Amino acid sequence: RREQLSAKASEAEARLAQAEEKAKTLSRTAGAGALEELEKKVGELAAAGEMFVEEDAAAEAEKKVAAVEAALKSLAFSAAELASKRKQAMEAASASSRASAEAEGTQKLFEEKKKLLASREEQAAALKAVEEEAALAQKRVEEMTAFQAALLETQSLLRQELVGAVNDAMASLWPSVYPYGDYTSVRLRSSEDDYALELRALDGAWVSIEEASGGEKSCASLAMRVSFAMILTPNLSWLVLDEPTHNLDREAVARLCRALHEEIPKIVEQTFIITHDEALKEGASAKVYFVERDKQKGDKSAVQEVSSV
């Protein structure tokens, strides 16, 4: 087609050249009317030549379009597929952004959980230390409780033994210090937090010392003090009595004198008696001293040996 157009263009140019030559010739020979007609034909021929040129350019453009279409076809190009791929790419980019945001949030949450875990581990360690300390304290409490129970049991046994020994001693001493028969014995009764001195009546019942008279109380107190001296300080073998005749009647004083002179020396080696009652001189089994002091003058006490048995 291109070759045909080129041939036609060449033919048109040749005809145009001939027409121009004829026009020049006619212009020299012909009149004005013939010249106008000739110019008209020349214009038509020029227009035909331009048309041939445009057709040639159009053919060239069509050829290029065909080449591009063939190239696209060889690439299996599809506009719909391109749009689909673009859509997929956009969706993938959006998903990637979401995944990145989620990953960042997950990382942040992980760091928070990590810190929380570290805090919980510290708390667990502190709790374990407290539990160990509490277990140790509980063990010590149990040990102290066991020790306290053993101590209380030991105290109870010792108290029972002590009270039993004191009561045996008082029972043996009672007839020597109490001259009457309405009370046959005396004992010390122990409880968890106190002690009570009791007398045994003729019917066998034990009554509180609070129900007894002053003399009976003094005799019971004397028997108890001598018994404690026998039990608690057997190696010392001393007995110290301060005003032992207080609240005692004449018969009780006489019984006490006999006990001090005959019975008490069998129990303890030395007895010291401090008294204002001269009747106790009868119970002396060793030396008797008289101590005198003039309080008005402020003199020192003067000691005089009264007798030596």
DSSP string covering 102-151: HHHHHHHHHHHHHHHHHHHHHHHHHHHHHHHHHHHHHHHHHHHHHHHHHH
| Residue 179 · residue 254 · CB < 8 Å | yes
CA distance 218 to 178: 9
CA 193 to chain centre: 40
Please provide residue 115's backbone torsions phi and psi, each rounded to the nearest 5 degrees. Answer: -65, -40
Structure confidence at residue 42 (pLDDT): 56
d(CA 293, CA 209): 37
Predicted confidence pLDDT, tens digits, the chain (309 residues): 556 556 666 666 676 677 666 656 655 555 555 556 656 665 665 666 566 656 666 677 677 767 766 765 666 556 777 688 788 888 888 888 888 888 888 888 888 888 988 988 899 999 889 988 999 998 999 899 998 889 888 888 888 888 999 999 999 889 888 888 899 999 999 887 788 999 999 999 999 999 888 888 888 888 898 888 888 877 777 888 888 888 778 888 888 888 878 777 877 788 888 888 888 777 677 788 888 877 777 778 787 777 655
- The domain locations on the chain are 2-74
Q: Give residue 183's pLDDT.
A: 93
- Give the angle 61-62-65 at the CA atoms, nearest 5°: 90
Name the token pair of 305. 């040996």
For β-strands 238-242 and 270-274, DSSP reports them as parallel
Q: Residue 185: which residues within 8 A CB-CB, separation 6 or more? A: 170, 171, 174, 199, 200
Global confidence as pTM: 0.48
Non-local (6+) Cβ contacts of 21 within 8 A are: none
d(CA 74, CA 168): 134
Place of tokens 């129990």: 267
Q: How many residues does the chain have?
A: 309
In the chain, DSSP finds a helix count (H) and a strand count (E) of: 6, 7
Query: Which pLDDT does position 6 carry in this prediction?
Result: 61
Cβ atoms of 199 and 220 closer than 8 Å: yes
Helix ranges, 190-286 (H): 214-232, 250-258, 264-267
Question: The dihedral of CA 280, 282, 286, 288: what is its sign?
Answer: positive
Q: Going by C-beta distance under 8 Å and a sequence separation of 6 or more, which residues neighbour residue 136?
A: none
3-class SS at 285?
coil
Which residue in this structure is represented by tokens 């045994």? Answer: 200
